[in-house]
Chain A
């Protein structure tokens, strides 16, 4: 078997194992809830019969192992059970039904931010690495350091203040629904996407710069320069093939960062995505929703890192041309 294919398959297997371990952690940490679900939802005054009834109704009186297998089995097919809000009533809300439209919104927002941030930060980072220690490099460096140090919600409010309150270019709240037309959706999501873009560009540009500088310090680059190749030949023929791996890592790391950034940003702009939903569910202790959101976030995070690994392996010149 080709060594690249073998390593890629190994990574895929490792990713699946990680995903499994994470699902176990997510499910079993729910068992730490002091007093159990029932006590928390029914309140302190609940009689033991009430609690037992409630547990039986939700199937919580069965062994944890059985419940885990059932949960993960259904989750793989996209069914996360019923939300706890409304369990005491008659209407059952399925978690997947609540999540699906919001998942699309979050995906929309993240794609928008990534589409702007990735090319921009790669360009800025490579330029900063090529012209390092110039005034351009210094300015970009201090600006990005400040952006990294600033909490996302601060950047978000600053943008709202400037572009919504002062200039009236965008609406300060990003309420969208399924019926919102595409262009309207883009305009509503513009400010949240801009916020995330700013934060990601800062991280990504610094990491790209570091990776490229690291690369340019390699002996084979010096060799290429010494044998008289032009600057662009050195970069395109010798640096770039080796640069794909670090660049892929940087991109994946920052897209994974989007997963976290999206939570805060959605809350600021009241954008109906799963980040905001998770925060709401945490406040109301709606466990099936929290579990589902955590699993989706973790799975995205793992998948992105896995993709970066695979790109890094399959573009590695040392693996592609084995001796």
Chain B
């Protein structure tokens, strides 16, 4: 039977993919620009070892060698290929920022939803502790904790130079901000009748959270994820720039700027490739702008949920 023959055929529900495609068709140019830039970055980050012509710590030429055959964008202060380090930098910087943001959302959103659902002393005690932490600027507190805990991790034999401390410190600090938002939005949902009826039906707390609350607080949390990612990304870049974030020889955009900064102050005649420190800094800026464009678009689409705040 064809569809025309039976006008009462109910159209199947659109799949997630179809919904996404429909949304993308109406997306403004800025959102398209953002999505494409993010995809390029993701590609570079995922396939860094295959794209990059050289390893991230390989020394190929002289210090500050001009752009040429071996090094497309020239060499850095100890003769490593800047182009390869930029690509590996995408993997390291974005990867670490992403892990940090995921961890902070896992901790912050779990506690936030739990506090909104349980209320009482649990909510009160978490909220008061979070209030105290919110009164300290993230960068300042991160600097202090890095001084206390060290920059890498307490088990160098197991993780090598993996910046576990940096990730955990930043994630926990950021989780306080995530907690505030997720508690606020979950509080609005937790008083709804359908949550009440789920409770009366005798559903467990897991079911209530994942089937009733999470789907309704997801849009604001997703946009917040984009913004928090930008913030964490910039903070990690700043910390690396200050020399206490991701440690050499790992390629990272923040420390690459710091390592090559002398090129800006030196006379142009001696070192004719001034733009070298601008590449990693530009890479940071471009990604942040791209994420902001996409977040703006998503925010605009789901603005009904964020209004009145």
Given A18-B131, A305-B135, 15 extra CB contacts under 8 A: A18-B135, A21-B135, A26-B144, A32-B149, A150-B285, A151-B254, A154-B285, A157-B281, A172-B265, A173-B265, A278-B140, A283-B244, A294-B143, A298-B140, A302-B135
- Cα-based distance from A259 to B137 in the complex (angstroms): 8
Chain B contact-residue range equals: 35 or more
Q: Interface-forming stretch among A56-64, A106-114, A260-268? A: A260-268
A-to-B contact residues, CB < 8 Å:
18-19, 21-22, 25-26, 29-30, 32-34, 145-146, 148-154, 157-158, 160-161, 164-165, 172-173, 256, 259-260, 263-264, 267-268, 278-279, 281-283, 285, 287, 290-291, 293-294, 297-298, 301-302, 305
Decide: B139 and A263 in contact? CB cutoff 8 A.
yes
Contact A297 to B145, CB < 8 A, known contacts A146-B285, A153-B257, A283-B243: no
Nearest-neighbor residue (CB-CB) of B265 within chain A: A172
Contact A157 to B140, CB < 8 A, known contacts A34-B149, A151-B281, A279-B243: no
Contact A154 to B281, CB < 8 A, known contacts A34-B150, A160-B264: yes
Decide: A22 and B292 in contact? CB cutoff 8 A.
no
Contact A151 to B244, CB < 8 A, known contacts A25-B132, A157-B257, A285-B147: no
| Chain B neighbourhood of A268, CB < 8 A | 261
| Chain B neighbourhood of A278, CB < 8 A | 140, 143
Contacts A/B (CB < 8 Å), 23 sampled: A26-B136, A30-B148, A32-B149, A34-B154, A148-B288, A151-B241, A154-B281, A154-B282, A154-B284, A157-B281, A172-B265, A267-B241, A279-B143, A279-B243, A279-B244, A282-B143, A282-B146, A285-B147, A290-B143, A297-B140, A298-B135, A298-B140, A301-B137
Decide: B257 and A150 in contact? CB cutoff 8 A.
no
Q: Which chain B residues numbered 238 to 287 have a C-beta less than 8 Å away from chain A?
A: 238, 241-244, 254, 257-258, 261, 264-265, 268, 274, 277-278, 281-282, 284-285
| Chain B neighbourhood of A25, CB < 8 A | 132-133, 136
For the complex formed, measure the closest distance between the CB of A146 and the CB atoms of chain B, giving whole angstroms.
6
For the complex formed, measure the closest distance between the CB of A125 and the CB atoms of chain B, giving whole angstroms.
18
Nearest-neighbor residue (CB-CB) of B235 within chain A: A260
Q: Which of B144, B148, B150, B238 contacts A151 (CB 8 A)?
A: B238
Nearest-neighbor residue (CB-CB) of A257 within chain B: B137
Contact A297 to B288, CB < 8 A, known contacts A29-B145, A157-B264: no
Decide: B234 and A151 in contact? CB cutoff 8 A.
yes
| Chain A neighbourhood of B137, CB < 8 A | 256, 259-260, 297-298, 301
- Cα-based distance from A278 to B141 in the complex (angstroms): 11
| Chain A neighbourhood of B148, CB < 8 A | 29-30, 32-33, 287
For the complex formed, measure the closest distance between the CB of A175 and the CB atoms of chain B, giving whole angstroms.
13
Nearest-neighbor residue (CB-CB) of B261 within chain A: A157
- Cα-based distance from A29 to B165 in the complex (angstroms): 14
Contact A290 to B144, CB < 8 A, known contacts A146-B289, A154-B278, A154-B285: yes
B94 on the A face (CB < 8 A): no
B230 on the A face (CB < 8 A): yes
Decide: A150 and B139 in contact? CB cutoff 8 A.
no
- Cα-based distance from A21 to B139 in the complex (angstroms): 18
Contact A161 to B264, CB < 8 A, known contacts A22-B136, A152-B238: yes
B138 on the A face (CB < 8 A): yes
Residue-wise, chain B 208-237 has the 8 Å CB interface mask toward A (1 for contact) of 000000000000000000000010001001
For the complex formed, measure the closest distance between the CB of B130 and the CB atoms of chain A, giving whole angstroms.
11
For the complex formed, measure the closest distance between the CB of B47 and the CB atoms of chain A, giving whole angstroms.
25
Decide: B238 and A301 in contact? CB cutoff 8 A.
no
- Cα-based distance from A55 to B292 in the complex (angstroms): 50
For the complex formed, measure the closest distance between the CB of A71 and the CB atoms of chain B, giving whole angstroms.
15
| Chain B neighbourhood of A282, CB < 8 A | 143-144, 146-147, 244
For the complex of A and B, the 6 pairs showing the least CB-CB separation, nearest first, are A149-B288, A154-B281, A21-B132, A282-B147, A150-B285, A149-B289
For the complex formed, measure the closest distance between the CB of B142 and the CB atoms of chain A, giving whole angstroms.
10
Decide: B289 and A145 in contact? CB cutoff 8 A.
yes
Contact A263 to B154, CB < 8 A, known contacts A22-B135, A145-B292, A153-B241: no
| Chain B neighbourhood of A30, CB < 8 A | 148
- Cα-based distance from A161 to B282 in the complex (angstroms): 15
Nearest-neighbor residue (CB-CB) of B128 within chain A: A21
Decide: A153 and B238 in contact? CB cutoff 8 A.
yes
Contact A263 to B281, CB < 8 A, known contacts A32-B148, A298-B137: no
Contact A294 to B136, CB < 8 A, known contacts A29-B148, A263-B143, A287-B147: yes
Contact A151 to B284, CB < 8 A, known contacts A157-B261, A160-B264: yes
Nearest-neighbor residue (CB-CB) of B30 within chain A: A142
Nearest-neighbor residue (CB-CB) of A291 within chain B: B144
Nearest-neighbor residue (CB-CB) of B136 within chain A: A298
| Chain A neighbourhood of B150, CB < 8 A | 34
Q: Which chain B residues numbered 35 to 67 have a C-beta less than 8 Å away from chain A?
A: none
| Chain B neighbourhood of A34, CB < 8 A | 149-150, 154
- Cα-based distance from A158 to B281 in the complex (angstroms): 10
- Cα-based distance from A301 to B136 in the complex (angstroms): 7
- Cα-based distance from A302 to B134 in the complex (angstroms): 10
| Chain B neighbourhood of A291, CB < 8 A | 144
- Cα-based distance from A173 to B264 in the complex (angstroms): 12
Contact A294 to B144, CB < 8 A, known contacts A145-B292, A150-B285, A157-B278: yes
Q: Looking at A25, A154, A279, which has the most chain B CB atoms within 10 Å of its CB? A: A154
Contact A165 to B144, CB < 8 A, known contacts A18-B135, A260-B137: no
For the complex formed, measure the closest distance between the CB of A287 and the CB atoms of chain B, giving whole angstroms.
7
| Chain A neighbourhood of B139, CB < 8 A | 260, 263-264
